[in-house]
């Protein structure tokens, strides 16, 4: 009995999951747009139905406006129309226009309405939920009034309306009630307290419609409107647009909506909508029954039945819609799809479980040692390779320990292989107790064991684990009622980027193990070539950098591509939102390794003493290039050039002479040159720094303190040094806390007090820019990836040549 109940519960489980998901989606109205899409599709697939000849539309269309002048018109136009329609016996005129403001012509229109005797006027709802009726004169002359509120769904289509709101009937209902005074009553009216779900049976272009001006000028016989309801309203392009299931572009208008409502009321063919309780009944019963009926083992049969159920429900929904009933479509279909998917997932999980159980036995034999129940070599190598692959993507620290028992052959020879096996099992158990849960201990064969130690934070962790292993093995082991003491030699290999295959790391651990044996056994050794590798890498990088400098500086072929090049990052003025200058930056394109980050080779160049020639080369190249742009683009002669000076370059005795030489050789305008120096460089060499800065200012060169805020940032120091501006470090600009906490504002206030220019670097987002705009009052400058990345010279020329100098 319990088994049957369990199996039934399993069969109902997918349906229950699907029901829960669909119920949540139903509560969140997720299906509403899909139901609206079904409504639109069914309306179009069903096609149009005959129009009720008791309804006619008098349209204020483009032709009428062209003939009678700009809309809205004065009320005498409508008085003329009513006078024209008065002879049409039994006609009712409903005007879908608001006359809520008094006019001198109200009396004339009221007289025409009284003369006709069956005119219905519109009123509109306000935001406060009140109605905006016609003027008193017109309201007294009308036979009735009706509201013209419409309830648009999320896609703009009106699918339901309130026939009565706060006791006020709709315009269509009022027109129908006036019509029943002269004609027989239509079919019974629906419940006025419930929404009327529209059954759109005609496109707006197919509805019986006559041009206002044609009626007014007598081109339409008055007999056309005898015993009919004439609805007057706007149908001109761009006025009062109203999407319908038929007409998306161009849309219908409000007058067509009221005509469609009248059509539904006269013929009694409004849509009948299923009560929400039936939706829940379909959900609860459908999910369970479908879950029980769907085939389980055969996925093809399950797919066929699912498709049949989905298509069947879609066809049923369409047939009912064509006959005036609108039932949920998207929700049941989604329920079928989710139930079928849940069953497929359940069956897949069941198959996977059975497959895992079958493979578990094979895995045990293939990847575990039968004697010790430890992972064997194959499994260990696989886990090690996985760690190596992971290390390539996300570097982390781990180690391999290769362990060999000392003098194990003596045990085998003295006590036999059975005792040796038992000793190995005891050693395995002892090692397991010394391991952490995340470590992998494996038996490689014979008396060799390997350990994969992961989750290391420091190399000392490896030493601690190795010592713990040695200590664990020093305690006697009881084998065949004999106490045995064993020791082990341990070799350790530490993870490194140079390890790509597991064999390489095991080889090095094995080498370290033999080194431990050679040192007297019962100890451990770490195989460490990282220092050697780093030295080799550094030497290789130094040689490559020297070669790159030689290749770039001695470049004779103008077509050749230098490895070192200067790029230019635009600096934007907040006041003009245009490029005001460029910062020169160096880039290294290694022929084999590709782009080398400046963060890697600039510190190396400083240690090698190469940063000084590199700095002067960048200065000359940038001055020559920007001077060429000044000549080529005369309107941009004020573009500035910012060049960084390294600490070593700044302290050179001939710094000023070298700068003057570069300016003279390139004919660069001194007034456009900005030199950027870190505050640490200046403040650590205060006396010399002050003299150098004074000499630079005598030349007319402006000096900016780079990365301001990361060093001393002292008002006292700044006051001593002749500088022209500050560059706010990118770390402050990109840190929301710094922007909000006032740190950046403090720097700006400090600069304003000293009358220094400000450049904020590292702007990467719009919020950062907006914050800086507020704090700088649009008087500073900014740069960063939000505007431009560093550009090649050709890209800058394109930028200047096309005039695209604004980025906002």
The whole-number pLDDT of residue 628 equals: 92
Asked which of 218, 252, 268 is the last residue of a domain, the reply is: 268
640 — pLDDT class (breaks 50, 70, 90): very high
Same-domain check for residues 397 and 317: no
The gap from C-alpha 186 to its chain's centroid, in whole angstroms, comes to: 56
Lowest mean pLDDT among 316-330, 465-479, 652-666, 705-719: 705-719
The whole-number pLDDT of residue 81 equals: 92
Q: Is the pLDDT of residue 806 over 60?
A: no
Residue 742 covered by a domain: no
Q: Mention every residue, 6+ apart, whose C-beta is less than 8 A from residue 64.
A: 211, 212, 213, 214, 236
pLDDT digits (tens, 9 = 90+) for 518-567: 777 778 888 866 434 554 576 788 888 888 888 888 765 566 678 899 99
Q: What is the mean pLDDT of residues 442-449?
A: 88
DSSP conformation letters of 11-54: HHHHHHHHHHHHHHHHHTTTTHHHHHHHHHHHHHHH------TT
Same-domain check for residues 123 and 6: no
Crossing angle for the helix pair 330-367 and 2-27, to the nearest 10 degrees: 130
Stated pTM of the model: 0.47
Asked which of 482, 502, 528 is the last residue of a domain, the reply is: 528
674 — pLDDT class (breaks 50, 70, 90): very high
Q: What is the mean pLDDT of residues 126-136?
A: 75
Lowest mean pLDDT among 94-98, 281-285, 364-368, 555-559: 555-559
The pLDDT mean for the chain works out to 84
634: which DSSP letter? G
Same-domain check for residues 702 and 606: yes
Lowest mean pLDDT among 31-40, 231-240, 291-300: 291-300
Same-domain check for residues 20 and 56: no
Q: What is the mean pLDDT of residues 300-306?
A: 85
Closest to 199 (Cα-Cα) out of 211, 190, 208: 190
2 — pLDDT class (breaks 50, 70, 90): low
Same-domain check for residues 102 and 67: yes
Q: Is the pLDDT of residue 805 over 80?
A: no
Same-domain check for residues 78 and 20: no
Same-domain check for residues 185 and 218: yes
Residue 747 covered by a domain: no
pLDDT digits (tens, 9 = 90+) for 584-638: 999 999 888 888 888 888 888 888 888 899 999 999 999 999 999 999 998 888 8
Residue 27 covered by a domain: yes
Residue 440 covered by a domain: yes
Q: Is the pLDDT of residue 232 over 70?
A: yes
What CATH code is carried by the domain that includes residue 409? 3.30.70.270
Same-domain check for residues 21 and 65: no
Q: Mention every residue, 6+ apart, whose C-beta is less than 8 A from residue 146.
A: 94, 120, 121, 122, 123, 168, 169, 170, 171, 172, 173, 174, 175
Q: Is the pLDDT of residue 648 over 70?
A: yes
Same-domain check for residues 229 and 312: no
Residue 498 covered by a domain: yes
Lowest mean pLDDT among 75-79, 177-181, 415-419, 530-534: 530-534
188: which DSSP letter? P
Same-domain check for residues 611 and 477: no
Asked which of 221, 246, 268 is the last residue of a domain, the reply is: 268
Q: Mention every residue, 6+ apart, whose C-beta is less than 8 A from residue 325.
A: 271, 272, 273, 274
The whole-number pLDDT of residue 186 equals: 61
Same-domain check for residues 374 and 423: yes
More confident residue, 253 or 560: 253
Same-domain check for residues 330 and 372: no
297 — pLDDT class (breaks 50, 70, 90): confident
Q: Is the pLDDT of residue 286 over 80?
A: no
Percent of the chain with pLDDT over 90: 24
714 in Cβ contact with 682 (< 8 Å): no
Domain that holds residue 385: 368-528
The whole-number pLDDT of residue 410 equals: 75
Count up the domains in the chain and report the number: 4
Residue 759 covered by a domain: no
Residue 599 covered by a domain: yes
Residue 703 covered by a domain: yes
Q: What is the mean pLDDT of residues 221-247?
A: 88
Query: 3-state SS string over 402-420?
Result: EEEECCHHHHHHHHCHHHH
Angle at CA of residue 799, ends 795 and 805, nearest 5°: 140
């Amino acid at each position: 009995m319990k088994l049957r109940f369990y199996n039934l519960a399993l069969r109902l489980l997918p349906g229950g999951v699907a029901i829960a998901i669909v119920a949540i989606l139903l509560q969140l109205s997720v299906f509403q747009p899909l139901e609206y899409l079904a409504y639109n599709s069914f309306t179009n697939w069903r096609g149009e139905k005959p129009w009720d000849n008791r309804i006619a539309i008098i349209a204020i269309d483009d032709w009428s406006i062209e003939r009678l002048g700009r809309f809205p018109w004065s009320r005498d136009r409508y008085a003329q129309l009513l006078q024209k329609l008065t002879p049409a016996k039994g006609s009712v005129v409903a005007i879908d226009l608001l006359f809520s403001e008094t006019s001198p012509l109200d009396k004339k229109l009221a007289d025409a309405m009284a003369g006709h005797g069956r005119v219905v006027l519109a009123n509109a709802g306000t935001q406060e939920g009140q109605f905006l009726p016609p003027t008193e004169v017109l309201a007294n002359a009308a036979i009735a009034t009706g509201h013209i509120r419409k309830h648009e769904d999320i896609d703009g289509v009106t699918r339901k309306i309130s026939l009565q709101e706060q006791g006020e009937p709709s315009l269509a209902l009022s027109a129908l009630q006036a019509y029943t005074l002269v004609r027989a009553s239509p079919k019974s009216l629906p419940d006025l307290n419930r929404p009327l779900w529209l059954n759109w049976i005609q496109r707006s272009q197919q509805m019986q419609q006559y041009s206002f001006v044609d009626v007014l000028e007598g081109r339409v016989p008055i007999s056309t409107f005898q015993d009919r309801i004439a609805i007057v309203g706007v149908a001109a392009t761009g006025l009062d647009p109203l999407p319908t299931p038929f007409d998306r572009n161009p849309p219908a208008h409000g007058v067509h909506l009221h005509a469609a409502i009248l059509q539904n009321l006269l013929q009694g063919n409004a849509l009948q909508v299923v009560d929400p309780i039936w939706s829940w009944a379909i959900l609860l019963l459908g999910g369970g029954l479908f879950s029980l009926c769907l085939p389980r083992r055969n996925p093809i049969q399950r797919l066929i039945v699912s498709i049949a159920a989905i298509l069947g429900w879609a066809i049923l929904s369409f047939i009912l819609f064509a006959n005036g009933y609108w039932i949920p479509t998207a929700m049941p279909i989604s329920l079928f799809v989710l139930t079928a998917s849940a069953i497929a997932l359940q069956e897949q999980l069941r198959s996977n479980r059975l497959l895992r159980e079958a493979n578990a036995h094979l895995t045990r034999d293939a990847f575990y040692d039968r004697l010790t129940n430890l992972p064997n070599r194959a499994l260990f190598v696989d886990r090690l390779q996985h760690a190596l692959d992971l290390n390539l993507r996300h570097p982390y620290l781990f180690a391999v320990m290769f362990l060999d028992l000392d003098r194990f052959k003596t045990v085998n020879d003295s006590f036999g292989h059975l005792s040796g096996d038992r000793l190995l099992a005891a050693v395995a158990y002892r090692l397991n107790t010394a391991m952490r849960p995340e470590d992998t201990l494996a038996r490689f064969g014979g008396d060799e064991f390997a350990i994969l130690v992961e989750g290391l934070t420091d190399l000392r962790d490896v030493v601690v684990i190795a010592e713990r292993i040695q200590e664990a093995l020093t305690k006697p082991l009881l084998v065949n009622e004999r106490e045995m003491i064993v020791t082990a030699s341990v070799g350790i290999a530490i993870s490194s980027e140079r390890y790509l295959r597991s064999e390489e790391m095991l080889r090095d651990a094995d080498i370290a193990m033999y080194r431990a044996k050679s040192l007297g056994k019962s100890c451990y050794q770490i195989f460490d070539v990282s220092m050697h590798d780093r030295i080799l890498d550094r030497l290789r990088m130094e040689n490559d950098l020297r070669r790159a400098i030689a290749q770039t500086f001695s470049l004779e072929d103008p077509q050749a591509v230098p490895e070192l090049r200067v790029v230019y990052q635009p600096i934007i003025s907040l006041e003009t939102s245009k490029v005001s200058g460029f910062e020169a930056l160096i880039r290294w394109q290694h022929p084999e390794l590709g782009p080398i980050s400046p963060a890697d080779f600039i510190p190396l160049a400083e240690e090698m003493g190469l940063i000084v020639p590199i700095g002067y080369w960048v200065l000359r190249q940038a001055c020559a290039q920007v001077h060429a742009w000044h000549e080529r683009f005369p309107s941009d002669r004020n573009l500035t050039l910012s060049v960084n000076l390294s600490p070593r370059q700044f302290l050179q005795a001939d710094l000023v002479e070298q700068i003057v030489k570069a300016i003279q050789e390139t004919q660069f305008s001194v007034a456009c040159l900005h030199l950027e120096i870190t505050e640490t460089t200046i403040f650590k060499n205060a006396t010399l720094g002050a003299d150098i800065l004074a000499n630079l200012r005598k030349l007319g060169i402006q000096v900016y303190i780079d990365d301001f805020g990361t060093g001393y940032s002292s008002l006292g120091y700044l006051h001593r040094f002749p500088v022209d501006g500050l560059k706010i470090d990118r770390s402050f600009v990109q840190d929301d806390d710094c922007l909000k906490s006032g740190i950046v504002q403090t720097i700006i206030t400090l600069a304003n007090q000293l009358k220094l220019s400000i450049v904020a670097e590292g702007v990467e987002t719009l919020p950062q820019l907006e914050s800086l705009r507020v704090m700088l009052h649009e008087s500073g400058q900014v740069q960063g990836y939000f505007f431009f990345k560093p550009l090649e010279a050709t890209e800058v020329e394109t930028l200047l040549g096309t005039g695209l100098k604004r980025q906002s």
